[in-house]
Structure 1
Amino acid sequence: MPAPNEITTSQLFRLIGTPECPAIVDISIDPDFNEDPYLVPGSFRHSHKDRAELLRKLAGRKCVVVCQRGIKLSQGLAAWLRCEGVEAEYLSGGMYAWRAAEGAMRIPASAIPARVDGATL
């Protein structure tokens, strides 16, 4: 039985590009991300350690938290965000599941332009 704060790849895939799409936050640690530097379309990278800044960036929006496997980091951060009043879910299976999902696009991080202010999205 799925957890109440879990979203599957097919559920997220159907939301991307729609007005109902939540913010998608990739919190993969650098070594994991560097091995496979791709993002879910529309997502942004953020350190799982900088919770206060993430709350500011989300500004009350719903979100889906993504890590490499969809276990410790994403489940923990999604639970913490929910305690802070944010409607947060984690991607079941993480980036491993997203990569394996038929038709799921992945965006090379190198294709995303740097922001002028130098901030990391």
Structure 2
Amino acid sequence: MPTAISPRELAEAIQALVPPQIIDVRRKPAFDASVQMIAGASWRDPDDIASWISTLDTSRPVIVYCVRGHQVSQGCAARLETAGLRAAYLAGGIEQWADDNHPTIGKA
């Protein structure tokens, strides 16, 4: 089972000297339908993880999030852990992040 991180813990981690890599792994239709994302995050297709996993910085932790923090982000976090990365998923996903009034940005 992959590690979960709460929205509060992620907000604190973002303020660290070396912040984590934040990866938005919402499926493309969910990502396209949304107008927001977490500041500093980059979107990656969860179905194509094999093509982007090697682009991640192995010296920094990786936090992945999806809509609600269920199968998609948990599956990606587990895959990243298996590859030797320090990975976690955002409990509650971007919905909980926004509900807790953490900042989001509009997508470009």
TM-score above 0.5:
yes
Q: What is aligned with 1:98?
A: 97
More helix by share: 2
Q: What is aligned with 1:117?
A: none
Contact 1:64 1:88 in 2 (8 A): yes
Identical-residue share of aligned pairs (%): 30
Cα distance, 1:17 vs structure 2: 3.7
Unmatched runs of 5 consecutive residues or more in structure 2: none
Provide the rounded CA distance (Å) in 2 between the counterparts of 1:4 and 1:28: 17
Q: What is aligned with 1:107?
A: 105
Q: Tell me how many residue pairs correspond in the alignment.
A: 107
Q: What is aligned with 2:49?
A: 51
Pairwise CA RMSD:
1.5
Q: What is aligned with 1:79?
A: 78
TM-score when scaled to structure 2?
A: 0.90
Cα distance, 1:92 vs structure 2: 0.1
More strand by share: 2
Contact 2:2 2:77 in 1 (8 A): no
Whose radius of gyration is greater, 1 or 2?
A: 1
By relative contact order (CA 8 Å, sep 6+), the higher-ranking structure is 2
TM-score when scaled to structure 1?
A: 0.81
Cα distance, 1:52 vs structure 2: 2.6
Q: What is aligned with 1:62?
A: 61
